[in-house]
Amino acid sequence: MSNHTLIGKISATCATKKLQIWIKSRHLICSGNFFLLETVEYSMVERFEGYITTLGGSLISVESIKKLSIGNHRQVILYQAKASLYTPLHHQLKDYWERHGAMITKFEPKKNKG
């Protein structure tokens, strides 16, 4: 069974919960009706597209934005996926974003205070 077949069987409630997990883990940023996902796993980008589509939105673009070094002599690609999803005021994802979201992803460098 392909990934797209599995995604097609996911309910809107399940898709919303998956996106909420990524908001809380700082993989997903919300700005208006736009969502930005950053990950080093391309399969996560594919799942993101499925969840957004299930909720009535669409994927706008996917880019490999940089290589990240992890450990000695190992690099991974950081992917950034942008999507559009209509989320009116008091939408479940918007409310969750306001309580648990961050303005930067976990892959953004931390700035020193000083």
pLDDT tens, residue order, the chain (114 aa): 344 545 558 899 999 999 999 999 999 999 889 999 999 999 999 999 999 999 999 999 999 999 988 878 888 999 999 999 998 877 888 889 889 998 899 988 765 544
With b for 16 or more beta-carbon neighbours within 10 A and e for fewer, the 51-85 pattern comes to bbbbbebebeebeeeeeeeeeeeeeeebbbbebeb
Q: Are 3 and 56 in contact (CB under 8 A)?
A: no
CATH number, span 3-100: 3.10.28.10
Global pTM?
A: 0.83
Domains in the chain: boundaries:
3-100
Q: Is residue 67 within 8 Å of residue 76, measured between CB atoms?
A: yes
